[in-house]
Amino acid sequence: MGATMRRSTQAILAASAASMVYGQGQVLDLGTVDWTLTSPNFSYINVPGKVPSQVHLDLQASKVIGDPLYALNEFNLRWIAFSNWTYTSTPLTSLNANANSTWLVFNGLDTFATVEFCGQHVAATNNQFRQYYFDITDIISSCNSPVLSVNFGSAPIIANATAALPGQETWPWDVQQLYEFPNREYIRKEQSDFGWDWGPAFAPAGIWQPAYVVQLPPNDVYIRNTLVDVYREGQINLLPPDQSKDWVLNASIDYVGSLPADAALYYTIRGGNDLLDLSGRLANLSSYGGRLTGSIAISSDAVDLWWPVGMGSQTLYNLTLSVIGSRNNTLATVFKRIGFRTIFNNQTPVSQQQIDLGVAPGGNWHFEINGHEFYAKGSNFIPPDPFWPTVTKDRLQILFDSVVDGNQNMLRVWSSGAYSPDFMYDLADEMGILLWSEFEFGCALYPADEAFLENVAQEVEYQVRRVNHHPSLAYWAGGNELENLELPLANKSDPARYPQLQAEYETLFLDTIAPIVFGNSRSISYSPSSTTNGWQSLDFSRRQPITQRYNNLTVGSIYGNTDHYNYNPPQAFNMSTFPIGRFANEFGYHSMPSLQSWQQAVDPEDLHFNSTVVMLRDHHPPAGGMNTSNIYNASIGQGQMTMSAQLYYPVPNKTDSLANFSAWCHTTQIFQADFYKAQIEFYRRGSALPERQLGSLYWQLEDQWQAPTWAGIEYDGRWKVLHYVAKDVYEPVIISAFLNISNHDFEVWAVSDLWSSVSAKVNLTWYDWTGKQLDSNPISENVTIGALNGTQILSSNVDTLLADHNPTNAILAMEVTTHGKLPNSDTTQTFTHKNWFHATSLSNSSLVDPGLELSHSNETSKFTVRATKGVAAWVWLDYPSGAVLNFDANAFWLLPGEPKEVGYKVKSDTTSGRWVDGVTVRSLWDNNVR
Ligand code: BMA
């Protein structure tokens, strides 16, 4: 019998990329019933509650509190986190008291919940990231009033109590990064809920994920989670898959209820370019512990590959899995959308063949998609809101549009937020964004007692199985920066205890997590720490195969990935401080959001660079505790932004205080973008150097509130200077200059991440600031740029090049143009990239008024910008509040006379198009204008 799809199920499939239908069972979505929210601490609070939701959101909806993100409400609302909260349902009268079995299924409880049904205790929970399911059959059978109540204890208070338990683990004082609420490492709750250096600390509570009551007849099941693993025959995590092999599809469902002994698992796979239509019964069926598993082989020729954006199409297939009972009846059906791809994180030793090609010895550290190396271009994703229930698919769609518009193909989903919702992976599957995913541990060491490990094991098992089918899932890492930061700190502070602390780290991240990842998935690579020197050896006869390299390094060899934070402004553009590694997975510097964002969050009288409210929203360096007068640390962060702006750019000193604030905010964004640009160019050039550098993921993609942070996209979706500049240097083919600030050696390189070699035309021309061409050795030549490689265009010394010119009045315009094809594309495209080099910092350069002019055409829906008097540096189109959009280009440079047409993409608009009239243009020169 083939599992046929019924009409109703097709409709469901269209509505959602992963949904379920059931046999005769009944599923009550607890989001559809009425709830009240009360607190034993505050008898006067009794407001409607929601599922899924969190207490702060429900209190805000009932106007008990204002916007938590406004001004200093973060501090004013601490009382919510220190209180207990109860969600109580109306009587669930639609339930059947005589069902054969009744289950409560919570996809997420945040965090310390006591669940009662019909006035009886059901269970207590202690992990935000686990799915909990409870058999309440007995309770409902003798129930007068089927009321469900979920009482949440205060997470900060429970964390403190857990830390104080006798015999509890402790660590050297400086290892555990303290943000605001302490002791986050003892509990399994979103770590940034306790504060982080880019966000507020609310420690929210609530039924934050969908929840259900499931009622089943005898011999029926409810699928609570599904694993689908698609891999090449013989594939083993951490080793390169053989691309000539057929595919294996392994499917495994977790259910509640009772499965008939002869139940079978059927599949259909439909879709793709050739309208594939496969169906049948899964082989190798096994049933154990509430889990039914089977697999099939799929011919490699039968399916099209899934590729990340810019490397091919994102072909997806609809998979239906049906549990079929003894009478050929369908007990339950689940839909998953899948893709056929291998994504491999290559940490293998550099081979002799690679060395012969010029790669430095050591370990590889890069990704390969379907057997191909590629350059990973992207950033780090943080939780887009302090309150996850507000994060909808539509909201993420806007953000992910910006990811793709920004020429990014990979996000590192940072590891101390929450596991990404399925709809986030769905979007990434459709848009071709690879999601490097992580387990939620960061900037601390963690306990390794049995109860903690068991709790983590349950969490990891659920999450790995839940998301493994998404082709966008690229990688699993254990935690944030543990290997390069926390372990060395522990070693330094307490060398005697270090072996024990490292062993505990390995117990958690290798012995506990790795076997669960590898036991469920053969398609995804895993590493215990985000930043790492990689593995030293693998032994597949062991329960987990990895021996980490740590600092067993050979001089002259290069290992692992890198991060780079340097808050000493004079060193920002000193290339010798940039790390040389195989892959840059974090680097950054903070900047202010725009005036428009500040106005959403701060009263007009607080709109000053160092007003108390602005400063108390700067959490870098971390506040270091609950003291709300953390103004000292904030002043360090504000100072870093001020100093870097002063050092490198003309300093705004405008008479209008709001205009001055806005110009200052903007100048900190220019420095940020400039600093990231220098690093991205350096890393990308590394693809042509012995480090064979193959990735740049900067810190951080987006904001979760309006504050000074590392983000390139502000809270409402507005792009900072950084996101535009990253878009520009993430173009496939770029041209860049490299200055050694010590001896003034100077190089220009063209770099390409296309998969075939291209011939390119390059032009290098020196100008003065009025736009007059200097006679200093213009270059116009044709070069070849190798596949995923770079070509040096010029190697010289700036002092020699500008011997006859004043370096403060000399700028180099660079341009590369090539015709080539994106990977797996038949279409030849023109790739052009322009770049600028200034020999002295812009604060010391002879800037002139470029006489910028701006016009807009309603016909073409484009702006035209023109410099009429001189070279314009960092030309910036600004638009008013009320709309969110991005221009095709921004923060560019212009020669006089050269018109630049700029289109735009509107993401949201409450101004009925009137924002167009409010668009202004400025350049760095405007900082000099009072
Ligand atoms: C790295 C990250 C984050 C942090 C960021 C900025 O350490 O991993 O934990 O927010 O830098 O400090």
> Of the candidates 730, 765, 787, which is a domain's last residue?
730
- Average of pLDDT values for 69-79? 97
What are 143's strand-pairing partners?
none
The model's pLDDT over 643-685, given as tens digits with 9 standing for 90+, comes to 999 999 999 999 999 999 999 999 999 999 999 999 999 999 9
Whether residue 771 has pLDDT greater than 50: yes
Ligand 1 atom having least distance to the Cα of 382: 10
CB-count exposure of residue 50 (10 Å: 0-12, 13-18, 19+) = middle
- Helix (H) or strand (E) run with residue 476 in it: strand 473-479
Q: Which of 586, 640, 705 to mutate to test the pocket of ligand 1 (most atoms within 8 A of CB)?
A: 586
- Average of pLDDT values for 156-179? 96
Ligand 1 atom having least distance to the Cα of 416: 9
Whether residue 196 has pLDDT greater than 80: yes
Whether residue 847 has pLDDT greater than 60: yes
**Same domain, yes or no: 148 and 228:** no
Distance 729 CA to ligand 1 centre (A): 23
The question of whether 438 is a catalytic residue gets the answer no
CA distance 368 to 356: 20
In a domain, 766, yes or no: no
In a domain, 910, yes or no: yes
Distance 54 CA to ligand 1 centre (A): 26
Distance 316 CA to ligand 1 centre (A): 34
**Same domain, yes or no: 64 and 171:** yes
CA distance 816 to 807: 24
- Average of pLDDT values for 271-278? 87
CA distance 923 to 848: 11
> Which member of 190, 481, 702, 714 is catalytic?
481
In the prediction, which pLDDT does 630 show?
66
Q: Which of 443, 619, 672 to mutate to test the pocket of ligand 1 (most atoms within 8 A of CB)?
A: 443
CA distance 363 to 375: 17
In a domain, 620, yes or no: yes
Protein residue with its CA nearest to atom 1 in ligand 1 = 586
CA distance 856 to 917: 9
DSSP sequence for 755-766? SS-EEEEEEEEE
Distance 399 CA to ligand 1 centre (A): 20
CA distance 334 to 736: 50
DSSP three-state, residue 56: helix
**Same domain, yes or no: 70 and 143:** yes
CA distance 564 to 64: 43
Query: What CATH number is associated with residue 879?
Result: 2.60.40.10
Confidence of residue 23 (pLDDT cuts 50, 70, 90): low
CB-count exposure of residue 575 (10 Å: 0-12, 13-18, 19+) = middle
- Average of pLDDT values for 572-578? 98
Whether residue 696 has pLDDT greater than 60: yes
Q: What number of helices (H) and strands (E) belong to the chain? A: 19, 47
Protein residue with its CA nearest to atom 4 in ligand 1 = 197
The model's pLDDT over 479-536, given as tens digits with 9 standing for 90+, comes to 999 999 999 999 999 999 999 999 999 999 999 999 999 999 999 999 999 999 999 9
> Of the candidates 338, 354, 382, which is a domain's last residue?
338
CA distance 755 to 749: 18
Distance 562 CA to ligand 1 centre (A): 13
Ligand 1 atom having least distance to the Cα of 197: 10
Full domain range(s) for residue 261: 9-26+214-236+244-338
The model's pLDDT over 344-368, given as tens digits with 9 standing for 90+, comes to 999 999 999 999 999 999 999 999 9
- Average of pLDDT values for 417-430? 98
Distance 671 CA to ligand 1 centre (A): 19
**Same domain, yes or no: 547 and 658:** no
**Same domain, yes or no: 571 and 700:** yes
Ligand 1 atom having least distance to the Cα of 590: 6
DSSP three-state, residue 899: coil
Give every CB contact of residue 268 below 8 A, 6+ residues apart in sequence: 2, 3, 5, 277, 278, 279, 318, 319, 320
CA distance 161 to 168: 10
- For the chain, the domain total comes to 5
Q: Which of 699, 702, 704 to mutate to test the pocket of ligand 1 (most atoms within 8 A of CB)?
A: 699
Structure tokens at 887: 């221009």
For residues 598 and 622, is the Cβ–Cβ distance under 8 A? Answer: no
In the prediction, which pLDDT does 472 show?
99
Lining residues, ligand 1, CB within 6 Å: 196-198, 442-443, 480-481, 586, 699, 710
Query: What CATH number is associated with residue 445?
Result: 3.20.20.80
The model's pLDDT over 789-841, given as tens digits with 9 standing for 90+, comes to 999 999 999 999 999 999 999 999 999 999 999 999 999 999 999 999 999 99
Alpha-carbon separation of residue 431 from 366, 409, 471, 475, 626 (angstroms): 21, 9, 11, 17, 41
In the prediction, which pLDDT does 775 show?
82
Ligand 1 atom having least distance to the Cα of 414: 8
Q: Which of 175, 381, 480 to mutate to test the pocket of ligand 1 (most atoms within 8 A of CB)?
A: 480
CA distance 113 to 861: 53
The model's pLDDT over 464-481, given as tens digits with 9 standing for 90+, comes to 999 999 999 999 999 999
CA dihedral over 607, 613, 615, 620, signed as positive or negative: negative
Question: Within a 13 Å sphere around the CA of 549, how many CA atoms are in the beta-carbon half?
Answer: 25
Ligand 1 atom having least distance to the Cα of 196: 10
Alpha-carbon separation of residue 848 from 771, 781, 870 (angstroms): 10, 30, 6
Protein residue with its CA nearest to atom 6 in ligand 1 = 197
Q: 168-171: long-range contacts at Cβ-Cβ below 8 A with a sequence spacing of 24 or more?
A: 168/447, 169/447, 169/448, 169/449, 169/504, 171/444, 171/445, 171/490, 171/501
Alpha-carbon separation of residue 161 from 154, 166, 172, 187, 914 (angstroms): 11, 10, 19, 11, 55
**Same domain, yes or no: 132 and 230:** no
**Same domain, yes or no: 608 and 632:** yes
**Same domain, yes or no: 40 and 167:** yes
- Average of pLDDT values for 58-78? 98
- Average of pLDDT values for 294-317? 97
The model's pLDDT over 376-410, given as tens digits with 9 standing for 90+, comes to 999 999 999 999 999 999 999 999 999 999 999 99
In a domain, 838, yes or no: no
- Average of pLDDT values for 727-747? 98
In a domain, 363, yes or no: no
Distance 383 CA to ligand 1 centre (A): 13
In a domain, 735, yes or no: no
**Same domain, yes or no: 176 and 307:** no
CA distance 256 to 213: 12
- Average of pLDDT values for 900-916? 97
In a domain, 738, yes or no: no
Confidence of residue 776 (pLDDT cuts 50, 70, 90): confident
CB atoms within 10 A of CB 116: 17
CA distance 349 to 352: 9
Backbone angles phi and psi of 897, in degrees to 5? 90, -20
For residues 58 and 238, is the Cβ–Cβ distance under 8 A? Answer: no
**Same domain, yes or no: 574 and 684:** yes
Query: What CATH number is associated with residue 197?
Result: 2.60.120.260
CA distance 750 to 744: 20
Distance 558 CA to ligand 1 centre (A): 24
CA distance 688 to 666: 34
Distance 894 CA to ligand 1 centre (A): 35
Distance 716 CA to ligand 1 centre (A): 21
Structure tokens at 164: 């104080």
In the prediction, which pLDDT does 404 show?
98
For residues 195 and 180, is the Cβ–Cβ distance under 8 A? Answer: yes
> Of the candidates 308, 338, 368, which is a domain's last residue?
338
Distance 182 CA to ligand 1 centre (A): 17
**Same domain, yes or no: 139 and 221:** no
Alpha-carbon separation of residue 565 from 440, 571, 574, 577 (angstroms): 22, 11, 13, 10
**Same domain, yes or no: 413 and 489:** yes
In a domain, 709, yes or no: yes
For residues 471 and 341, is the Cβ–Cβ distance under 8 A? Answer: yes
Average confidence score pLDDT of the chain? 96
Structure tokens at 327: 């009478």
